[in-house]
Amino acid sequence: MEVLPDEWKGEPIVILNDSVFITVSTVNDENRILYSTISYIFVNKRNPTLLERMVFSEDMSFESTPVIEVTALYPDGSQWKSRLSDFTTEPYLYSGQYKTNHLIHTFTFPRYVKGMLIRLSVNKEFVAPTHYSHEPIRDRYPILQKTVCFTYPKGYTINQRES
């Protein structure tokens, strides 16, 4: 890929765009946050296989099931899109034996090659965001651009405060 700066060409993967969309709303007197991310990732090297196996976690105590969609565009022009059946879901065990309120969703790309472009979309709805302390906006991979968008309920202003 010719658009990558020379100093990035040694990276195994490069996130070309990583956007976060946060929508706040109230439904039936319940506060809700719809948290969506869309990432475009270029696989610059086949090894190490950083993203060949993707893992997502879900906190079952206050979140509906996340909707995860992964699409891969290959250098030969072919395309692959994930299905729900591609994911393995299992409970997270603390110290390998104590069940927690987290689920782990895992899948492996059927074909992971140099030059592929990955589109990753994750949508989460937090039904009781008052119990949610933070969301890490930054991740461990180098990025070219990060966009964060907030949407507030109708009639809400930035200067408005709860009494």
Q: For 21-76, write each residue's pLDDT tens digit.
A: 888 777 777 777 788 889 999 998 877 778 899 988 887 766 777 889 999 999 99
Is residue 3 assigned to a domain?
no
Question: Cβ(92)–Cβ(105) under 8 Å?
Answer: no
Judge whether 44 and 50 are in contact, CB under 8 Å. no
Give the pLDDT of residue 163: 40
Owner of token pair 């907030």: 150
- The structural domain count of the chain equals 1
Range of 93's domain? 20-151
- Does any domain span residue 156? no
Would residue 55 count as lying in a domain?
A: yes
Alpha-carbon Rg for the chain, nearest whole angstrom, is 18
What residue has token string 């079952």?
60
To the nearest whole percent, how much of the chain has pLDDT over 70?
74
Amino acid residing at 126:
F
What pLDDT does residue 97 have? 79
Pairing verdict, β 53-59 and 146-151: unpaired
Residue 159 has pLDDT above 70, yes or no: no
pLDDT surpassing 70 at residue 102 = yes
Does residue 6 fall inside a structural domain? no
Compute the distance between CA of residue 106 and CA of residue 57 in angstroms, rounded to an integer.
9
- With respect to residue 120, please indicate whether it lies within any of the assigned structural domains: yes
Residue showing tokens 């405060």: 161
Q: Is residue 131 included in any domain, yes or no?
A: yes
The closest of 41, 120, 135, 56 to 88, measured between CA atoms, is 56
More confident of the two residues 12 and 121: 121
- Residue at 162 is within a domain: no
* Residue 125 predicted with pLDDT over 50: yes
* Cα 113 to Cα 116: distance, rounded to the nearest angstrom: 6
Stretch 80-89: mean pLDDT, rounded? 90
Does 19 have pLDDT greater than 60?
yes
> Does 133 reside within a domain?
yes
Each residue of 104-118: pLDDT tens digit?
A: 889 999 999 999 999
